[in-house]
Chain A
């Protein structure tokens, strides 16, 4: 390999880690809710969109970015908890199909609200100039936004690991994910633990939204749809309901997408999506339950 291709390879690897990290955060949010409630929350993407619009309006109001970012994340957490309280609690003990349809309904209602109350068009989000700059390391350039995305992903993964292993609530969440009725026997309150799971998933969606918007500088009503679809694929790839699996699946999907875009011959570029999904299918044929399956797959929920 010549020097140029090694640099290109490193550059694309940074891109892959950055994109994969965002997918990993989103897939983790889906996995946390799924492991506890047995529900795939397709409205997870709308939490991202809500965060995106918070950044947009903060920009309009002249709120500094350093304030609007935590605000956008906080809004996603509150929105996630409200979603659970209003839409998902009433169907908590229903069949998985009912819960899935409910989450689709929430997603579509929110998308329609964004389109009618805000705009169907994409809105520009003001970003600090520093995000568009690059840092040179030797001969290769890394975008500040990419570095921040990687840093934020690492911090979130460390935080989540600490929270789930070192706090009583985190341990209770893991217990509830494994065996909900027995967790209740221990005195773990179902409402509190489910609400907490949604708050965590909102936190992850909010951080992912900030990273997503930092790369694109815009927000539109369907902003969350594609990344969450990707995160869903990532969580299946990693093993549905498994948290480590979600992280592994997110990164793997990020690598597949970026490397295909970068290294696939010109003539095949228009087929990169089907080729990427083909690789996903091959991985699933090899490991039908995903890379790192959840321990308690198929156990009773709530």
Chain B
């Protein structure tokens, strides 16, 4: 009888924070008290702990049990504390040798029968646990493969019941056995994840739309954002859904990042090891600003963070609420979302590719070769005007998607498959990485001289513009009176296009293509 300690984990944003869980059994009126800012779900744990312990054959002593969670000023949320609370109580109640769980971490929800149920954020917890350097982490078997992926020398025990957890802690033999079992399961789950990327959606299923496909390919290489403009039924959604199939595979590092986010949000299916497919998120246009960028009093990541390293598809862009669209500006530019709250400011990663789609006018038929548009000029302009200038500025490509003209399907066009596009994309990305390394190596040599150059000249040198490309750029600036952001964005786009043909120099034709893809006139802002 006495005092026992174990580690538990609270989720704050995308990170897990270690929480000391203590149990003290002392004489007094029988009862359990939980202190240390527990939320309702944590407070309810005492009922589950009592029943689960009894049903696992470990009756709790009829004495006063005090459970404490520290640091005391951190709000603890969710049912993940059931297991550490139960184990600490059992240790304090004499069912486990005292002191044997001091350097063990545990997380999981309990059923009344003593079964361990899955929790959110297993990967985040494993990351924190590995950094702590504890002896081992006890998690429900359902999420063990996920927790195991973190590696970092962390021992992971995936257990199914409270009784099994107790025997793992009591006997080294059982512990070793459970550890091997977890390893086997996890490796199998990982292999399964690798093979499931073979998808049914393929670019070759979309006929025509060559320019839009080209835009997607460029977006895939350079991480650019793109807006598709076209009548209903022209294939905008089909194209967007197939975009992930041409993206390069997630690296292990990226995969861990994405899995951690999805798992914290409770979207990672239990039993799966890692997410290998790029995320594709398509929130409905009624989504609110917090739903898109994240928020809430326990801040949760929004759609942009779920789309991290993947694709955010916004269909019917002008139908989204204005404040929701404006909230996208920060993540579009910086790749992170900052959410400020009274007690903390959280940063959620949000490096996604935005693919947006919209009709050219309210009725959708403006510019359609056969259908008649019934909108007034003012209505068309107002429709395009719902997308604010600053937001549009951050979208690199505006591309018209057109319905196929009749008789086109019979011509039997051969379209590129996603696999062949992906080969090109991956080659371009590899070239880009190599080029950037070269650039970084050469940078210090230019450093001092570079300071005197005007920003534009420096940029031209950075992007390696050819002479003819420079004169084209000058012509563009003179004609369009283009601002600095427009110019630098156009150059970035041109750089990506040059990467696609693995050219170290940005030539005239690359810049010319970039200027066409960036052209916003299609939205009729001031044309009429």
Partners in one complex: no
Q: Interface of B with A (CB < 8 Å)?
A: none
Q: Interface of A with B (CB < 8 Å)?
A: none
